[in-house]
A and B are shown apart, each in its own frame.
Chain A
Amino acid sequence: MINIENVSKVYKTSTEAAVKNISLHIPKGEIFGLLGTNGAGKTTTFSMLCGLFPPTSGNIFIKNMSVRNQIKDIKKIIGVVPQNIALYPTLTAKENLSFFGKMYGLTGSNLKKRINNHLNIFGLTKFADKKIKTYSGGMKRRINLIAGILHKPLLLFLDEPAVGIDAHSRQEIMEQLIEINKNGTTIVYTSHYLEEAEKFCTEIAIIDEGNILIKGKPNNLIKEHKTQNLEKLFFEVTKKNTD
């Protein structure tokens, strides 16, 4: 599904590369976790995958389409859930979802059905006509997620989708994401909740200072490095990198 080939990114405001010659292959159907500390290069990689800006060198292919030349076609098959609550606070949940759905080309009864269905799944039906600014953090996160999945994307990018919300809401969101994945959507996910990533991801890569340090299935990696869990593995590999 995704091929990242020798990609580097140097911001014009910096002399050091934010992402250093990384290569990754993410197969179709995976829930892929890109894990790292703040400033490790997760968001830069995420932004390049979404086509917000091009790599300084190397290339990224999504379904064999280059993000450099075919971003318009790529945008049709991807869904993005940013870390920020990327919604209009003075619009209701329905109005927000209707707008974002229409931007993906959904219309009429199909759009209406999908909105109602998702609001129902995420337990937000009775708040559908309330303005987003009146929502709790967890409710906003759920609408933020729905806005990215309403059009049933083949590939879903999630940037810290459950950050800053209570455990119950987080659990609910993760369960829904697993359902979405089962229905055929490949998920690329960044997070610093390592315990959650261990349970949720079918494959992970740990990125630090712009380099991919390790990549593989969480359980295999834990076994290979003879550690107890992903959190310990993460500290081990990122500490070595720092040393």
Chain B
Amino acid sequence: MKLKASIIKEFLILIRDIPGLIVLFLMPAAMIIVISLVQDTTIQSLKGTKINILYINNDSDILGTTLLDGLKKSELFIIDEKKISEKDAKILVAKENYKIAITIPKGTTDLIREQIKPYIKSIFTGEKIDTTKHLKTTRIKILSDPTVKQTFRHTIISSLQTYTAKIETQIMMKILVENLEKMTGVKTKISEDAINTVEFIEEFAFEKETSIIPNSTQHNVPAWTMFAMFFIVIPLAGNMIQERNDGSFFRLLTMPGSYLTVLGSKTVVYLIVTFLQFIMMLLVGIFILPAFGLPVLNLGSNPFALIIMGLASGLAATGYGILIGTISDTHEQSGVFGSVSVIILAALGGIWFPVYAMPAFMQKISTISPLNWGLNGFYQIFLKDGGFLQITSYAILLFIFFLVTIFISTIIEKIKRLNK
């Protein structure tokens, strides 16, 4: 009866706090839409819709033209070809007319031929090559705007390296064939297709047949849902501090009933809130994100596992909010400590940057973040179409985290009160 009365009280307080409700529901929805769109735009830009590249081809031979064709084919860039000096190219990039400029030095293809010829000759004659004499290099220069991300620069360099290697092979084959023709007198024609025997096919390794296609929506929705759920610490901690400041908490302590009743009612109400947030975020993924041209969220084939993970994550977030509300004495403390700690836990948990790409010691630290457990659990469902078995360990960890936060909160409250 007392718990029911407490739950009703908490519910009434919550629904009458309009700014609080906006924070709880509209802000996470806005956040997931904005972040998904921003990330999708970044991916789209990598597909060549926005990034301009200045291409200065001083080679006028096979390398210069093949690289240009390759870059055009890759659909990653918009290529503008100009005959200007490297100095002028640098100015244009510095002025942000182009994000990147690529300069191919004069005679690059000839240099490759010169380098290769002695090696081919040595194959037929058995002569030893003086490597120091023949080792000449040329440099393809890539000038980039400092704002261009490292990953993007690496993509370009990687593409150039791929095409250069291909051209080197072609030149080598051509010289080899020429030498063979001279020796045998037989005309040989080598098809370019013969060089391209290896194809790359990307396929996701699922344990079973699934309709899930890992994409930005499948990654973003669970990640930002976890983040938003944990941001409940601010209104929840604020509610607890307000109750203490109003004096109603003091009155409650003088009444029959356990402190756990007070925490229990907050847990029930805020668990419902986090679960509603969770449902709302899923609906955003299903209905709102596709309206902006993003992929539709696929919930997988295990709704039961999804509900368990939603509840476990909500419990963990609520427990953490109660802990922050117990530790903090003022709204300022809870606001700063709550938000900063959630951001740290999110960063550690892999919300912004994948854990597997972190340094080894950070990967170890990330395993203590409840957001990491939640995210991994959701990834099992959203990216691997996992079921109850796959999420159990994560759900249990989140539940234990909730129990620990409630236990610590009870102890801290008692210490604060009795140790006066």
Contact = CB atoms under 8 A, between A and B. Distances in A.
Interface of A: 11-13, 50-54, 72, 75-76, 78, 80, 82-91, 95, 98-100, 102-105, 107, 131, 147-148, 157
A54 B250 contact: no
- State the 9 A-B residue pairs at the shortest beta-carbon distance, nearest first: A84-B247, A86-B247, A102-B5, A86-B251, A80-B254, A90-B16, A75-B256, A99-B9, A50-B254
Interface string B7-35: 01100110011000000000000000000
A87 B250 CA distance: 10
Given A85-B246, A86-B246, A103-B2, A147 B254 contact: no
Given A89-B246, A104-B256, A82 B251 contact: yes
B183 interface: no
12 contacts: A52-B254, A78-B254, A80-B254, A80-B255, A84-B250, A86-B248, A87-B248, A88-B13, A88-B243, A90-B13, A98-B5, A148-B251
Contacts, number: 84
Contacts of B250: 52, 82, 84, 86
Contacts of A91: 9, 12-13, 16
B56 to A, nearest CB: 68
Given A90-B12, A99-B9, A104-B256, A147 B251 contact: yes
Given A90-B12, A95-B12, A102-B2, A51 B246 contact: no
B14 to A, nearest CB: 9
Interface stretch (B272-280, B296-304, B412-420): B412-420
B252 interface: yes
B251 A80 contact: yes
Nearest to A83: B247
| Of B16, B17, B246, B251, most A-chain CB atoms within 10 Å | B251
A236 B252 CA distance: 38
A49 to B, nearest CB: 10
Contacts of A88: 9, 13, 243, 246, 248
A50 B9 CA distance: 24
A164 to B, nearest CB: 14
On chain B, which size bracket covers the interface? 20 to 34
A103 B246 contact: no
Interface of B: 1-2, 4-6, 8-9, 12-13, 16-17, 243, 246-248, 250-257, 417-420
B4 to A, nearest CB: 8
By DSSP majority rule, is chain A's interface helix, strand, loop, or mixed? loop
A66 B420 CA distance: 19
Contact of A82 (B2, B16, B247, B420): B247
B418 A54 contact: yes
A105 B1 contact: yes
B418 A103 contact: no
B239 to A, nearest CB: 10
Contacts of A83: 247
A132 to B, nearest CB: 10
Contacts of B248: 86-88
Contacts of B257: 103
A150 B417 CA distance: 26
A142 to B, nearest CB: 15
A72 B247 contact: no
A64 to B, nearest CB: 18
A103 B252 contact: yes
B246 A52 contact: no
